Structure 1
Amino acid sequence: MATRSTTSPDLTRVGGPVGWVRARIDIAARQSPARLALSVFALVIGVFTALLSLPAATSSGQRAPFADALFTAASAVCVTGLTTVDTATYWSGLGQVLIMVAIKIGGLGIITLASLLGLAVARRLGLRQRLIAASETKALRLADVRGLLRAVVIMSTSLELAIAVVLLPSFLAEGDGLGTALYHSLFYGISSFNNAGFSVTQGGAEAWSGNPFVLGPLAIGVFMGSLGFPVVLTVANNLRRKDGVRRGRRGWNLHTRLTLVTTLVVLVVAIVGFAAFEWTNPGTLGSMSFGDRVLNSVFAGVMPRSGGFSAVPVNEMHETTWAFQDLLMFIGGGSASTAGGIKVTTLAVLVLATVAEARGDRDVEAFGRRIPHGSLRLAVTVLLAGATLVLVSALALLAISGRSLDVVLFETVSAFGTCGLSTGLSAELPSSGKYVLTALMFAGRTGTMTLAAALALRDRRRVVRLPEERPVVG
């Protein structure tokens, strides 16, 4: 008698097409949750590539080349902001709306998207989906995941709308009609909070280099989006009164404290460093008034978190500034945020481990807590994986483009960190170079550890541990 495969459910036994989809999701989640998430994310990019390939998506009415459609879709879904064509002029109104929707979907997060898909199909979150969502949102209790996903959607949408409302008067003052001003405000609200960096107006952020009422909300949106949903929700929850008492910072967990402290330190260093390197550069800050120099230094300090907007020409910056911003973009923002990079908590753990080793301490400690060795191993793995991806991609682009290392490295780190700052190299690359950056944006957004887990067939557990022997290091 023939046996029925457990990996191919019978439609009549699982409740029709919806039940079949649900069963397939359950099987994929059980076998490899990370691979399921990557598959969903890749599927979303494929859908938007097809939509942007429609003639109606371009202002000329002609079909966009596949490399440009794929690159733009990946950049939008990965909330990067790198472009091969000018968003404001090349894409039609439909194309720009598609990009905005792709940014919104990508900003919710790859694992969150997979969990919401499972909820929409199955009408409930099973244990597998809860585990997947908990790994992305860093939820403390599985029972909180459903409410947390709802809070993520509500919080992100509310902040995007708040930024749009603040930006609206500035666009109206520039002479835009009410409909156009509303559209621009909403687009930039979504683009800034999701750290996407896409612009649908001529000149982008450079047109507002002296307008704090535009640069200010954009910078705040990027900063809030780069903190990460767990941090924002933790801070918001602890600001509420519980039994008549506000817990405040006393209720912050270690992840929140590390993220906020490291982010503020990196932000101050970024602002001061950019001002020091570019203060007298006539192509960037040198020709501005003192107030505009300060404004643009702050704005430029926030953007390498993964924002991608630039109020001064990137190609006019000093090479020293490019190298400085390479480091900032590689670090990125907070975990489970719309930012890319290796994340500030990874940097914090590595720095704390270095300090502990220098002091001769056996444990890595911070804020009265001991950080487990597993977190340190994970931080080292993320650092090495990220550096390897950047190195391999940079070598490939050097061979393809023939440009200098500083230009190629800046574009490569920007793609990996899903930042979107660009020297203009992306638009000059042939199709092969665009495919390299597309793959790098995908890897940078999904996370090096998630990508590695998706490619792994299974976890390897060893029963027998070998004898310990210490090698000579250093």
Structure 2
Amino acid sequence: MLPVARAAGVPAPPMVAFFTSVSAICVTGLVLVDTGTYWSVFGQSTIMVMFQLGGFGMMTAATLLGLMVNRSPRLRTRLVTQTETRSLWVGDISSVAKLVLGVTILSQLVIGTLLTLRMRFGHDMAWGDAAWSGFFHAVSAFNNAGFSIHADGFIRYAGDALVLLPVMIAAVVGGIGFPILNDLRDRCRDPRHWSLHTKLTLAGTLVLVASGFVAILLFEWDNARTFGPMSIAEKLLNSLFMSASARTVGFNTVDIGALTPETWALHYFLMFVGGGSAGTAGGVKVGTVMILVLLVIAEAKGHADTEAFGRRVGASAQRQAITVLVVGSVIVAVGTIALLRISHFPTDQVIFEVIAAFGSAGLSTGITADLPPAGQFVLALLMFFGRVGTITLATSLVIGERRMPYRFPEEHPIVG
């Protein structure tokens, strides 16, 4: 709200400042005002710092602070952090924290430099503007924040693969999850030794991106307001970018409000699922959905165990996945009902907005700024719960798990 943060030199209204802060810290990207023109360089820098901290992750930040204060974090701190890092042993947390810092700095430097050079020589920006645009969007992409200093997002770069591909790579690396990066670093030569978490997340990500790419291409091929005027190569590029972006980075190369209803429905699913655990992405996470898919397959086959890649998924992981999915669904349902109650927008637009907020996707059909203050506050809560709630829930489920000294008699209620 400081006057220096706003381009006009006057304080921003409390709701605008509050909503922008929540969106940045929760790496969502929903905005009430145009980031590039409403905020000054100081304001944009503040926003960038916030989504850098938010993307870095509260658990990771706490671990790093613990390492700086004490080279040997307490066992309980390590156990809590291990909940979010899943596939790692307790002794690996220090290594992961260093990996997080290294990958974050290196990725943003490389992608920022590539984008700066492209903005300078491909789009004739001055060196200062090119560097600011390049590094702002590199940090935003890596943290899956979805903030852009361009009023039209990435629509101006819809035909530029040298901008879209680096941004997409940054988003995937940041959102895939640091436990997977650690696994790939230590066992890159032998995929057979990858953890089950790594295999499930990589397989799920590949399926989601590929299926989303094909579906969006089919749904938008003849849409005169989106892919219609594009060449075949541009359609392929933008379909791939949109499929990857929908899973939480939140950049758009076409007008989201002009998409077909089928593409909106596809976005509901992609945004809700999100990215990998312990990464910068939001949603209920790919690993959660993959465990549930395996559970359904095992039940359909009549198998007692849920299995994949020669491993058995633990019963506690299955219960946690079901709990996270159910709680996430309830939050989305309640948020949708609340927003329908206090706004006049169609149901499909409200659902899109709610899932985008909960899944930290940042995509919008264009109604965010037109919602009443109460509606904007509901979205802020959804962003907060979506970013913090599922992680906190998963952590509490793991550290709160205990064996009872007795078991009740078993019965089988009718299902279905």
| Code of the aligned partner of 2:195 | N
CA displacement 1:12-61 (0-9 Å, x = unmatched): xxxxxxxxxxxxxxxxxxxxxxxxxxxxxxxxxxxxxxxxx111111111
Shift of 1:132: 2.2
Of the three residues 283, 300, 305, the one matched with 1:363 is 305
The one of 120, 130, 146 equivalent to 1:197 is 146
Query: How far has the Cα of 1:288 moved from its partner?
Result: 1.0
Which one of the candidate residues 123, 134, 139 is aligned to 1:185?
134
1:14-413 equivalences in 2 (<5 Å): 53-121=1-69, 124-138=72-86, 140-173=88-121, 174-239=123-188, 247-413=189-355
CA apart distance, 1:453: 6.1
Whether 1:472 aligns to 2:414 is yes
Measured against aligned partners, the alpha-carbon deviations of 1:294-323 in whole angstroms (never above 9, x if no partner) come to 111111111111110000000111122111
Letter in 1 for 2:380: T
- What is the distance in 2 between the residues matched to 1:458 and 1:261? 30
Q: CA deviation at 1:200?
A: 1.0
How far did residue 193 of structure 1 move?
1.0
Q: Taking structure 2 as the reference length, what is the TM-score of the superposition?
A: 0.95
1:460–1:251 distance in 2 versus 1, CA, 3 Å = closer
Deviates more, 1:190-199 or 1:228-237: 228-237
Residue 119 of structure 1: CA displacement? 3.8
Shift, 1:237, TM fit? 2.3
1:47 alignment counterpart: none
The whole-number CA distance in structure 2 between the counterparts of 1:329 and 1:145 is 29
**Helix, strand or coil for the counterpart of 2:349?**
helix
The C-alpha deviation readout for 1:115-169, integer Å capped at 9, x for no partner, is 2334445565222222222222235222221221111111111111111121122
The question of whether the paired residues in 2 share the 8 Å contact of 1:223 and 1:305 is answered with no
Equivalent residues of 1:382, 1:448 under 8 A apart: yes
Question: Which string of whole-angstrom CA distances, capped at 9 and with x for unpartnered residues, describes residues 206-244 of structure 1?
Answer: 1111111111111111122221111122112223xxxxx
Gaps of 5+ in 2: none
Once residues 462 and 127 of structure 1 are traced to their aligned partners in structure 2, the CA distance between those partners, rounded to angstroms, is 24
- Please tell me the residue identity of whatever aligns with 2:353: E
SS in 2 for 1:83: coil
Distance 1:57 1:321 in 2: 37
The DSSP-based 3-state class of the residue aligned with 2:144 is coil
**Matched residue SS, 2:246:** helix
Residues in 2 aligned to 1:385 and 1:268: alpha-carbon distance in whole angstroms = 27
Structure 1 residues 333 and 434, CA gap change in structure 2 (3 angstroms): same
Q: What percent of counterpart residues are identical?
A: 44
Aligned CA-pair RMSD: 1.9
2-structure distance, mates of 1:361, 1:312: 45
C-alpha distance in structure 1 between counterparts of 2:398 and 2:207, whole Å: 36
Task: Give the C-alpha shift of residue 256 in structure 1.
Answer: 0.6
- Structure showing greater radius of gyration is 1
Greater displacement, 270-279 / 168-177: 168-177
> 1:417 corresponds to which letter in structure 2?
G
Structure 2 equivalent of residue 18 of structure 1: none
The residue type paired with residue 167 of structure 1 is L
Offset from partner CA, 1:61-120 (integer Å, 9 cap, x none) = 111111111111111111111111110111110010011111111111121122233444
Contact 2:96 2:178 in 1 (8 A): no
Residues of 1 paired with 2:87 and 2:409: CA distance?
Answer: 37
* Counterpart amino acid of residue 235 in structure 1: L
8 Å Cα contact 2:34-2:151 kept in structure 1: no
In 2, Cα distance between equivalents of 1:185 and 1:150:
25
Report the alpha carbon displacement of residue 364 of structure 1 after superposing the two structures with TM.
0.4
Inter-CA distance 362–417: structure 2 relative to 1 (3 Å threshold):
same
Distance 1:188 1:302 in 2: 16
Judge conservation of contact 1:139–1:145 (CA < 8 Å) in 2.
Answer: no
Residue aligned with 1:305, SS: coil
- Classify the secondary structure of the residue corresponding to 1:204: coil
Cα distance in 2 between the residues matched to 1:473 and 1:444: 30
Contact conserved, 1:115 with 1:132, CA < 8 A, in 2? no
The 1:338–1:178 alpha-carbon spacing in structure 2 relative to 1, beyond 3 Å, is same
How far apart in 2 are the matches of 1:88 and 1:164? 18
Call closer, same or farther: CA 1:352–1:455 in 2, change over 3 Å. closer
1:422 aligns with 2:364: yes
| 1:429 to partner: Cα distance | 1.3
Structure 1: how far apart are the matches of 2:383 and 2:300? Answer: 36
Partner Cα separation in structure 2 for residue 443 and residue 124 of structure 1: 31
Distance 1:301 1:455, change over 3 A: closer
Cα distance in 2 for partners of 1:135, 1:92 equals: 39
Task: Encode CA deviations 1:271-307: one digit per residue, 9 max, x unaligned.
Answer: 0011111110000001111111111111111111111
- The 1:156–1:144 alpha-carbon spacing in structure 2 relative to 1, beyond 3 Å, is same
